[in-house]
Structure formats: C-alpha cells, structure tokens
Amino acid sequence: MDFIKNVDICCGLAWGDEAKGKLITELIKYNNNYDWICRWAGGSNAGHTIYYEDKKYNTNIIPTGIFYGKKCYIGPQCYVNLNDLDKEMIYLKENGFDINLIKVSKKVHIVTSEHKEEDAKKYINSQGSTGKGIAPCGRDKYARKGLRLCDIIDNVNYFQNLKCFDINKHIMTDKLYGNLLCEGAQGFWLDIDQGNYPFVTSSTTLPYSACSLGFPPQKIRNIYGAAKIYDTRVGVDPLFSEDLLKDKDLEEIAKIGNEFGTTTGRLRKVNWLDLDKLIEAINISGTTHVIISKIDVLEIINKFKLNEGLEFNNINDMKSYINNKLNDNCYLVQKIIYSDSPKSIKFV
C-alpha cells in the first residue's frame, strides 16, 4: 500500500482547548483502521490532554496516535524545538509508549533558543504568547531565512544533548499511505487569517492546511470540529475582556470545568457560547461532524445561556435550540454530538 486512501481531519472550532485530544482518541478507538495520525501545524505552543487506561497524559506536539500504537507524523508546517520534542519523547518512553512510531518531516522549521528568548521578551505580555518561540520561528520561515531539520542534519551540535530523538530513526524517509487522521492544533479563531489579528497563533489552523502533509483535498472524507458548550480563551484578546473574570457564574464554570491551559497552565477566560461564531467556524472550515463537549459543567451549575442573551430552562432545551440553528445554517453538517465526559464521546 503506497498511496493515500482516505483522510479524516479533526480541528478546533473556537479558541483552542476544545477537547480535540479526547476527540482524536475516540476517533482512533471508533475507527481503528487509521494507518497514520498526523500533526499538520503549530508547535509546542499547543497541547492535548489524553486519558489512556484511566491515566491522564499531556502532550504538546507528538500526535495522539502514540498512545494507541499508531504511526505518528509531525508534518512540514510544524515548528519544532528539538529539546522540547526530546523531553516529550522521554516522558512517553518512561510511561511505556513506543517512541519508534514517531516520524518527523525533514522540512519542519527548527525553533531555536534565540527564538524562545525573543518570544519571551516581546510577545508574552503584549499578545499572550506561550513563549515557545513560534512567532519568531514563523517570521524567519516566511522571510526565507529559517532553519529546517534537513539543514542541520549534519550539525552534531543540534543533537549531541538529545537522549531520545535520533535523526536516523525519526526523520521521515517514506511517504504517507493508507488512511490518515490529521489532528489540528489551537482553534479556528486563532487562525492567522481568520482570527482576531494580531491576537492569533502563527500558523493556519483550518483543515485545508492539512493538505500540506502531502495529499490533495479530494482525499478528505470527514472533518470533525470540536467545540465546547461555552467559550474559553487563554492569552490576550480584546474579545475576552478582564470583566469576564468577575462574573460569578463564569468563574464557577472555569472552576468546575478545570479551565487551565494544557501547555501553560494559565487560567482560561470563560464566556457563554457565541453561536454565531460557532456557525461561521463550522461553515468556513467545512465541518461535517460537530462535537460539543462539557455539557455536564452547565448541568452542575444549572445555568444554560448563550452569549447573545438567550437563557434556557435545561440542557435539553439548549441542545434543541443549538441543533435547530446548526441544521438551518450549516448545510455541510451531517451529525451533531454532545459529550458530558472528559474521557469519552458516544459516536453511536
């Protein structure tokens, strides 16, 4: 088998932190014929929370397939800090996972220590950056002066302190084949083009960017879009004012929902779901299957609201309203699924 058959894509429909890790996990278990789990964009500024055999794991750039014995590919649009990648591989190896499954495109751009230092000085406070060096690395990439993995293969200084990452084992020399599941990083409204610029990430978060892995768009079968029943955002963004932190109901949602960033541990600002933005994200991204998580959090606080001021008596009334709006306005959507568990999704 030396050709790509079908491609499914998982993307975020909000500002990141939409439980994409849970969704990817459930897709792997539900449809176990994926040959590769692929990351197409971003770097160690993103994160997934994974529950495997009732134990919680956090990853940043290594695809979720590592937990299920799947071949994992870090694609050419990703930004890779080799030290961060090595630490993540050590963490996974120490927990018993097969890191030999991890392959990295030789075309990824390398995040240097200088990139991270510049990020920390310039962008953490002004734009809410994670300080992982992604923006300076992206700037150098598009200025055509960046360093790719293939440019430093023969430079021993880049690899001498790494314990797990072996260039001879982990660089991708073959082509992708079979059935692919592509996992997105961040979310729709953090996209460099669609988001509230400049309060965005430094990569394309929309599903069409997954074609950078090396397949035509005609191969795309399903696009799974992840959202929550309320909105959250880490970092600086005028759309999420500081006043949100003073709202007692939203504060309770953040507490019950454990709304802290996987990568940074920062408190996420919470707001009621903006349904108009969700509809726009669904339509532009081409989402076919919408997964809305954390409905249990609203049930616990017994408050059911939307950003536009609508309030409902119970979660079923709220779900019914959302379903009607999505069905009326999102013609590509085939299925809407709600999840009330941090560990699972019921696809059937």
Active-site residue set: 17, 48
Question: Per the structure block, which two tokens stand in for 124?
Answer: 């953490």
User: Can you tell me which residue has the tokens 């927990």?
Assistant: 95
> CA–CA separation, 304 vs 313, rounded Å?
7
Sign of the CA dihedral 41, 42, 43, 49?
negative
